[in-house]
């Protein structure tokens, strides 16, 4: 008991030291044009022109973990494979911005379908794409082509901000609607090439535990996404027979909602991944992570959801957020072994939130305790600074 209390007391101090160390390293190692924020948010992002060779250290670190696999590690490109030009949010001048290079060189977001096409360049070695979806609070007359106002966007926005964007940047919203992205993914033949698309259902603060509603605020996105997909399939505008689409979320409620509202024949054609956010003993890093969006604590309620939900097939995590992941995921997997209808969990590790040396050490530390299947890694991809800002 006394050791548990000691751990509770020193954990915030250790967490603070780790966060401070990363800030110092970012300041010292920052390259021209790249901001300290870039280093704090994604210190281990890979340069596009160095793929696929830049993947090798990560593959060497991760390839031998857990149970033997029947296929290679899946390489998932985070945020449509473009850290810099992914649609993060609405800028001061009512345009959709990416991750700005610095104050003197803003980054205007590009069309998501163009980013996907770029990421799937056969020479780069990318297997799958992850994107975020938000349900905009818009008047129905401003929704375009029946997409039910669901768009690819990282940040949440107010109704007023969405209304302004719909009136000033309607082409961008149409091009970045979920309906358009799904249609493009299918029409471009990525399904036949074995590619996969992961949709992160963005969670609302206070909506991550199972069974949350809050007047529909917690269930609206999942319901609308399921309705859109049901409609596209029934109208033969989308074929899901090859199991190429999965949902991910920090929110158990969002995953439960989308699963419950999908047509019965579609439920088992999808994948479902719970994102494990931050361990409760990582308070400083959890607070810092909120600058990127809502990153919840991985609470006992979420762990229980992972242990008792038969259709859940994956957990995504970062060793920064869940440093003792080996024992935790073993416990969750053991709880799921008895019911025969439960899917066996696979695990995906995000590789970008820690410098490689620290990432490597934290993974090595779990070698003996992690006995599950590490099936995929998720990477951030960035572009050359000089390509974007030389003339600005």
Q: Per-residue pLDDT tens for 180-233?
A: 999 999 999 999 999 999 999 998 888 999 998 887 889 999 999 999 999 999
Quick one: pLDDT at residue 29?
Answer: 54
Q: Are 246 and 197 in contact (CB under 8 A)?
A: yes
What would the mean pLDDT of 113-136 be, rounded to a whole number? 96
pLDDT band at 6; cut points 50, 70, 90: very low
Please check whether residue 195 lies inside any domain of the structure: yes
Pick from 86-90, 272-276, 288-292, 307-311: least confident: 288-292
- Cα separation, 355 vs 279, whole angstroms: 19
pLDDT tier at 289, thresholds 50, 70, 90: low
Q: Does 36 fall in a domain?
A: no
Report the helix count and the strand count for the chain, using DSSP H and E.
15, 13
> Does some domain include residue 107?
yes
Sign for the pseudo-dihedral over CA of 226, 203, 355, 381: positive
In a domain, 72, yes or no: yes
Least confident range from 36-40, 80-84, 126-130, 380-384: namely 36-40
Kindly state whether residue 245 falls inside one of the protein's structural domains.
yes
Does any domain span residue 224?
yes
Say if residue 33's pLDDT is above 60: no
User: What confidence category does residue 142 fall into, taking pLDDT thresholds of 50, 70 and 90?
Assistant: low
Q: Is the peptide bond before 52 cis (omega within 30 degrees of 0)?
A: yes
Between helices 252-261 and 220-234, what is the axis angle to 10°?
30
| DSSP bridge pairs for 317 | 349
Q: Label the pairing between strands 46-47 and 381-382.
A: parallel
On whether the CB atoms of residues 100 and 49 are closer than 8 A, the answer is no
The reply to whether 303 falls in a domain is: yes
Q: Is the pLDDT of residue 386 over 50?
A: yes
pLDDT of 36 > 90? The answer is no
The pTM of this model reads 0.90
Q: Tell me the average pLDDT of the chain.
A: 85
Domain residue limits at 68: 44-389
More confident residue, 145 or 201: 201
Q: What is the pLDDT of residues 161-194, one digit of tens each?
A: 888 888 777 788 888 999 999 999 999 999 999 9
Q: What is the CATH number of the domain that holds 336?
A: 3.20.20.190
Structural domains of the chain, count: 1
Q: Which region, left, alpha or beta, applies to residue 391 given φ > 0 means left and ψ of -120 to 50 means alpha? A: alpha
Question: pLDDT above 70 covers what percent of the chain?
Answer: 83
3-state secondary structure 5-62: HHHHHHHHHHHHHHHHHHHHHHHHHCCCCCCHHHHHHCCCCEEHHHCCHHHHHHHHHH
* Token pair listed for 142: 């401003």
Amino acid 351: pLDDT: 95
* Angle, CA of 200, 69 and 369, to the nearest 5°: 80
Which H or E run includes 377? strand 373-379
Mean pLDDT in residue range 269-297 = 74
Task: Tell whether 142 is covered by a domain.
Answer: yes
Give the Cα separation of 165 and 136 in Å (integer). 10
For the residues of 211-234, what is the DSSP string, one character each? T--TTTTTTHHHHHHHHHHHHHHH
Structure tokens at 373: 């299947």
Q: How far apart are CA 302 and CA 280, in angstroms?
A: 12
């Amino acid at each position: 008991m006394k050791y548990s209390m000691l751990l509770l007391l020193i954990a915030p101090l250790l967490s603070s030291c780790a966060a401070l160390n990363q800030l110092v390293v970012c300041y010292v190692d920052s390259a021209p044009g790249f901001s300290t924020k870039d280093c704090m948010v994604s210190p281990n992002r890979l340069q596009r022109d160095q793929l696929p060779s830049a993947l090798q250290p990560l593959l060497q670190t991760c390839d031998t973990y857990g149970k033997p696999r029947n296929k290679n590690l899946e390489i998932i490109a985070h945020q449509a494979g473009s850290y810099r030009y992914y649609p993060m949010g609405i800028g001061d001048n009512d345009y959709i911005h990416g991750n700005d290079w610095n104050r003197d060189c803003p980054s205007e977001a590009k069309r998501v379908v163009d980013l996907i096409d770029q990421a799937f360049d056969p020479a780069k070695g990318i297997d799958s794409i992850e994107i975020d979806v938000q349900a905009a609070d818009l008047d129905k007359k401003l929704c375009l082509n029946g997409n039910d106002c669901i768009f690819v966007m990282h940040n949440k926005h107010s109704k007023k901000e969405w209304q302004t964007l719909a009136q000033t940047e309607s082409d961008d919203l149409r091009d970045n609607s979920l309906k358009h992205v799904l249609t493009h993914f299918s029409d471009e033949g990525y399904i036949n090439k074995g590619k996969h698309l992961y949709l992160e259902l963005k969670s609302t603060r206070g909506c991550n535990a199972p069974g949350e509603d809050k007047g529909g605020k917690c269930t609206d996105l999942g319901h609308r996404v399921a309705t859109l997909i049901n409609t596209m399939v029934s109208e033969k505008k989308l074929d899901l027979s090859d199991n190429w689409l999965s949902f991910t979320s920090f929110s158990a409620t969002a995953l439960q909602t989308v699963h419950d509202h999908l047509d019965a024949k579609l439920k088992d054609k999808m994948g479902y991944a719970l994102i494990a956010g931050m361990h409760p003993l990582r308070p400083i890093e959890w607070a810092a992570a909120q600058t990127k969006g809502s990153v919840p604590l991985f609470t006992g309620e979420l762990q229980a959801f992972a242990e008792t939900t038969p259709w859940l097939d994956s957990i995504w995590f970062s060793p920064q957020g869940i440093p003792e992941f080996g024992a935790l995921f073993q416990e969750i997997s053991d709880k799921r072994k008895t019911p025969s209808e439960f899917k066996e969990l696979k695990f995906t590790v995000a590789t970008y939130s820690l410098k490689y040396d620290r990432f490597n050490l934290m993974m090595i530390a779990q070698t003996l305790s992690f006995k599950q299947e590490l099936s995929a890694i998720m990477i951030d991809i960035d572009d050359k600074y000089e390509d974007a800002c030389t003339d600005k």
